[in-house]
Structure 1
Amino acid sequence: DSGQTWRQFEWLNESLQARDIAFDKSGEAWVLGDNGNFYSMDYRKKINLQTNRGNDDFDNIATNNIRMWFSNNGDGSHDPFTDGNGLYWPGGVNAINSAIFEDGFLWGGVVDGDTVVHGSTYRYGLQPGNILENGQAADPFDDSFYIWRANDNWPIISDMTAQRMEFDWNNWPSQLGAPYNDINQDGEYNPQTDNPVKYGDEMYWMVMNDLDTARTNFLYGSDPVGVEIQVSIYAYQSELLRDVVFKKYKLINKSGKTITDMYFSFWSDPDLGAAGDDFVGCDTILNLGYCYNGTNNDNIYGIPPAAGYLLLQSPVFEAVSSDSAYFNDSWHSGYRNCDLSSFIDFTKSALYPDPIMGMIEGTHQTYNYMTGKNWNNTDILNPHTGKATRFMVAGDPLMGTGWYEGSGWPGGPAPGDRRMMLTAGPVTMNPGDSQEVVYAIIMAQGVNNLHSIAELKSKAKAVGEFYYNGDFIIAIADENTPGPDRYSLAQNYPNPFNPITTISYTLPVTSDVELSIYNILGQRVATLVSEKQQAGLHKIRWDAGKIAGGIYYYKLEAGKSFSETKKLVLIK
């Protein structure tokens, strides 16, 4: 009709996209985007016809070799559309083999004499949104409580994903607690000068709370308290971190009440390929809980991998002045980080059963597990020594020592479906206090089921070194161990920085390399490398002491065709 009934829409950028568009009964237009979601034309609202959970939002990170689902109701590694496994590896966005069915973060403590447990396992006990100054939950249907995404590559991406990235970058919810770099130091987020604090090459951020009575009761029967949880999920594309996803939880006690004897747990139901042939274990030195195959062949993976949950940063408590603890991305004297305090192997048996859901008994059973007791508050006994322990299956299946599943557990269960939970605590949270807990989910594969554990522990050590030092301690490889198979450029660390940072990259073959720094006008301000270099990992230290603070870009050109650019922020 010569355009008489056509409608013109304003997009977030000038790129024209071919997209399916639907209209609701009110006449509002919705565009079909990624993951089956429909977005409003300003990209401010999102709905999915396959779910009906209010404003609960779902997304998945596939920045590297892992593809992992998550939600702003606390659910983790679980596909909301299939109600099935939600962590896939390897292959990233194209991964088809599943390693984890579901996982979630829990906290438990004592409030006014009552034991409470909140978070998420098979059921979610959280709702989207922050807690207001009056102690009430914000409207969970507010559109600002969706899952935000920080990726500074959106200017060079031309699909629907870039629309979202640009919107999130320009409207970063600093007012909700999302971290950002206040470059101009005016106390407000301004996308022209400031930028989100972006851990990794890509990061997702969301805020939740425990003030929905129906949800907290549905989980384990506890009543709401008033704890706000801010979550950052991020990953790196570098060769050394491509099998790792990080999850950072910040908890703020906005209840006006003191929470004593508080524990923080990460729970998981790992289905490592086939679900019925798994074992689990823990390494108390590494603060690592892990799942591995009980046999040397898996119906899904063939050679079975191992999956691990590494406690990187635990809650803190006040200590003597000579002690120090890591929180808020730096070290602080006068505090200490808690040690790993317990590990539980749920064997789906009468001896170590899953806690009851939807009833207050489930709260007490879960909390007993958190403290290192059995579900009924009796001691857990090491089958070798007969003595009480808070750490189940903490032996070494590689060396054949201690209590471990299989031959290391006299009369123990056969390989099967497992759950596990690693816990740190206890601490006290007074009104207004905050705590941080950081985990790394790691995948590894060796030449058999036990060698996969060895590979996993090696990666866990390297990830710990990276998290605290921004660097790796790499074991000397066998001479037949292959080097990197592709060019890659990592995000500089630390970032933001003042005035020294390190830039890492890998070369698969001997290559001509040029690494340069540019300002926002595209002018080159420094050339760090301009030479032929051998294959392998290279780390370049840049001292920007004589450079003005601001946003810069570093560009790596290597070989005949590789070129990649990343952003760095110098704060002075």
Structure 2
Amino acid sequence: MHTIKKWLLGLAGLALFATTAQAHVNPNHNKQPRPNNNSSGINFRENCSVAVARIDQAINNVRARLTTGGDVWWDGDAGIYVVPKVPAGVPPVSSIFAGAVWLGGVDPAGNLKLAAQTFGRGSGDFDFWPGPIDPVSGQTTQEVCSKWDKFFVVTGAEIDQHLANYNKAKLAGIPYDPALIPRGVKGWPALGNQFFFDVHLFELPTASQGLAGYWDEDGDGTYTPENGDYPVIEIRGCTDNPQYPDEMTFWIYNDAGNTHDESNGDKIQMEVQVQAFAYVSSDQLNDMTFQRYKLINRAVESIDSTFFAMWVDPDLGCHLDDYVGCDTLRSLAYIYNEDAVDGSPGCSCPSGNGSVNTYCEDVPILGVDYFRGPTDENGDEIGMSSFTYYNNGGVGSPPPGTTDPSNALEYYRYLTGSWRDGSPFTYGGDAYQEPTQALKYAFTESPHVQDGWSMCTAGLPFGDRRTIQASGPFRLDPGAVNELIIGVVWVADQAYPCPNIRKIQDADDISQGLFDACFDQLDGPDAPDVDFIELDREIIAIFTNDTVRAISNNAYEAYQEAVPGIGGTDVEDSLYLFEGYKLFQFSGPDVGVADLEDPTKARLIYQVDINNEVGRIFNWEQVEVDNSNVEEYYVPVLEVEGSNRGIRHTFRITEDQFAAGDRRLINHKKYYFVAIAYSHNNYLEFNPLTIVGQRKPYLQGRRNVGDKTGNRPFYTVIPRPIVDRKLN
């Protein structure tokens, strides 16, 4: 059925153009002379202008640049996938330079259709433009592209507030006032949203494939937030258990708005709807981001030998000293450093655009998990069918056949798992023209395995690599709707050189488990609502919980949640139960719940818990060892020192935990506080030798944290004197 081999052989005589890329962080990738794509016929519609909208995804410990032109994680000049996220004034270090989805296939006439984005933003060359495609004509217009050159953002806090408002109105037997619907919920671009025009000043299309995902509470087939509908993560097969993250960003782009100046390929007529989302947490999830691409084929004919891929240019700080590899069991691409110091030379990293910030001696590892690829014409899901890479031709002296693509055919060859010149990847060395067997996955062993195949054990020279995680071949039919879902994971400060990748695998297992569970995660008990009484150099905090269970899962302090993986609620001790509260002071407004373990940013003021047999609570954490011959082991980590004096709801605060010298509160000064609730379960005492039992008896709540009226993860409080007022 697939014509790929015959088609590629027919094009084998095409010459390979190998120009040299510039050796700097914003590479001028190889470009062939641009053909004249202007039709001699009359064009009655105006082509789309290039995308200009940009936004930073920054809800957790990652600050990731998003754009509407088919590429992400950079601004056209520098990489912006900054992790850890740092405050203003601290030099940011990026772990990725750029990323994009690639698409390619062959039409019935044998013409190559291809859309791909790499570094064209820097020169104004694009294959993608903002907005949807008309489902009938398969075209778009400048007006549509211009209107949709924007992002639609909703936070979990907005959805929480929306659901609380809706449930209160429902319980009171009154209509939900649309004026109370938070803006992110009200302006969500979901099918049939009557409020969309009021928020964004243009109308939604009515395509049968829908738009942004939502939970249809009233079952009417359209998005009606006034009836309890709300935004959700849209994933095939996850319709019965709606979930939403702490922040979600949606946008649409297409490849039909203009000529493909990046790849010089012919249009596919593909519409791409993107959901980028992330979570705030106190574990590895705080260093992760996720992207779900919904790809809708608006063409009227099938495309055979089709491939989809996620292309990434990963730069762990400095772009000159990175290695790449893959874990085929996890569909995970990972990026690590060549040696123990990020930079060349030393901790510096000169480039054509000035020096690049580096991780210096605290070098992380980054991974990209290819959760889901497209489905073929029979409805069977295609996973990661190849993992390949290529080199920046301006860094070092890589063979020309392994460098940046310069035309549609060369992009397509990389999509199919071949080199730029059409030769296969082969086992060993740099995988280029080795006298061994052909393969589809490069560098499949962990770098720390001395007799395995990795860039580290192969001793490859310095270079700037890009990775391609692809799915195919398959036939793409008209109207087909596919998904491409990825998660980016990151772990800090690993042992180099030739690191053990166990930590990035563990982090990826968390992200994969979350995906497998349709992004349903343990919530823990909702934090209490906190009211503050501001007095003269004194603050009183008062904890309350909403008594409606549809609004607070800790109503009447009766939270309970099933422990995953040990059976149903009929299993003895199968539930996490509410145990207590903690009240913290933050050092400033740039601190969040992910910083609770950092005493320079957050300090515990009060802890109260139920008077029962539960006192000190430990969770068990795995310790990584540098010696590959020694097994990793588990150690207990104290999470709470229970006082066992019963629950309190009022707390007197008179001291600044971060003050030097006189610690008394100062009137008219801003102070920052947060309260969290926590729960406990110990269904079976953990045995670190057999690794059996409850590793996490302590579970901290993640919802309703901070001041929801200001959408902040903390409360701002200002002590002030109470003075009598005299009337004239």
Contact 1:445 1:456 in 2 (8 A): no
Q: 1:120 aligns with which of 114, 117, 121?
A: 117
Aligned partner of 2:219 in structure 1 is 185
Contact 2:333 2:387 in 1 (8 A): no
Distance in 2 (alpha carbons) for counterparts of 1:307 and 1:315: 24
Aligned partner of 2:448 in structure 1 is 398
Cα distance change of structure 1 residues 211 and 306 upon mapping to structure 2, 3 Å threshold: same
Aligned partner of 1:293 in structure 2 is 337
Aligned partner of 2:661 in structure 1 is none
Shift of 1:92: 6.0
Cα distance change of structure 1 residues 515 and 466 upon mapping to structure 2, 3 Å threshold: farther
Q: 1:303 aligns with which of 359, 362, 385?
A: 362
Aligned partner of 1:468 in structure 2 is 516
Aligned partner of 2:299 in structure 1 is 255
Q: How many residues align?
A: 435
Aligned partner of 1:36 in structure 2 is none
Alignment of 1:398-417 (within 5 A): 398-408=448-458, 412=460, 414-417=461-464
Aligned partner of 1:98 in structure 2 is 94
Cα distance change of structure 1 residues 144 and 208 upon mapping to structure 2, 3 Å threshold: closer
Aligned partner of 2:154 in structure 1 is 150
Shift of 1:452: 6.4
Contact 1:146 1:206 in 2 (8 A): yes
Question: In structure 2, the residue corresponding to 1:441 is in which secondary structure?
Answer: strand
Q: Does 1:170 align with 2:290?
A: no
Give the superposed CA RMSD: 3.4
Shift of 1:396: 2.6
Q: Does 1:212 align with 2:257?
A: yes
Shift of 1:91: 2.3
Question: In structure 1, the residue corresponding to 2:381 is in which secondary structure?
Answer: strand
Shift of 1:234: 0.5
Contact 1:64 1:92 in 2 (8 A): no
Distance in 2 (alpha carbons) for counterparts of 1:170 and 1:562: 27
Q: Does 1:503 align with 2:523?
A: yes
Shift of 1:267: 1.3
Q: Does 1:85 align with 2:79?
A: yes
Amino acid of the structure 2 residue aligned with 1:223: D
State the Cα deviation string for residues 165-187 of structure 1 (Å, max 9, x = none): 94332121113511111111222
Unpaired stretches in structure 1, ≥5 consecutive residues: 1-51, 158-162, 320-333, 471-492, 495-500, 508-512, 539-554, 568-572
Amino acid of the structure 2 residue aligned with 1:181: W
Shift of 1:250: 0.7
Question: In structure 2, the residue corresponding to 1:173 is in which secondary structure?
Answer: coil
Identity of aligned residues (%): 24
Amino acid of the structure 1 residue aligned with 2:66: F
Cα distance change of structure 1 residues 97 and 136 upon mapping to structure 2, 3 Å threshold: same
Question: In structure 1, the residue corresponding to 2:410 is in which secondary structure?
Answer: helix
Distance in 2 (alpha carbons) for counterparts of 1:454 and 1:345: 25
Shift of 1:210: 0.5
Question: In structure 2, the residue corresponding to 1:174 is in which secondary structure?
Answer: coil
Q: Does 1:565 align with 2:704?
A: yes
Question: In structure 1, the residue corresponding to 2:294 is in which secondary structure?
Answer: strand
Q: Does 1:111 align with 2:93?
A: no
Aligned partner of 2:140 in structure 1 is 137
Amino acid of the structure 1 residue aligned with 2:129: Q
Computing the radius of gyration from Cα coordinates, the structure with the larger value is 2
State the Cα deviation string for residues 227-270 of structure 1 (Å, max 9, x = none): 10001100111223111110111101111111111111111222
Q: 2:285 aligns with which of 217, 241, 247?
A: 241
Distance in 2 (alpha carbons) for counterparts of 1:312 and 1:469: 12
Contact 2:377 2:475 in 1 (8 A): no
Shift of 1:275: 1.7
Alignment of 1:12-27 (within 5 A): none
Amino acid of the structure 1 residue aligned with 2:270: V
Shift of 1:93: 6.4
Shift of 1:368: 1.0
Q: 1:196 aligns with which of 228, 231, 256?
A: 231
Structure holding more strand per residue? 1
Q: Does 1:374 align with 2:419?
A: yes
Distance in 2 (alpha carbons) for counterparts of 1:156 and 1:503: 13
State the Cα deviation string for residues 432-477 of structure 1 (Å, max 9, x = none): 111101011111124423446331122112211221036xxxxxxx
Runs of 4+ in 1 over 6 A off after TM superposition: 513-517, 520-523
Contact 2:294 2:482 in 1 (8 A): yes
Shift of 1:59: 0.7
Distance in 1 (alpha carbons) for counterparts of 2:297 and 2:547: 43
Aligned partner of 1:231 in structure 2 is 274
Question: In structure 2, the residue corresponding to 1:153 is in which secondary structure?
Answer: helix
Q: 1:455 aligns with which of 483, 489, 503?
A: 503
Cα distance change of structure 1 residues 295 and 289 upon mapping to structure 2, 3 Å threshold: same
Once the two structures are overlaid, the 10-residue window that deviates more, 52-61 or 83-92, is 52-61
Cα distance change of structure 1 residues 211 and 517 upon mapping to structure 2, 3 Å threshold: farther
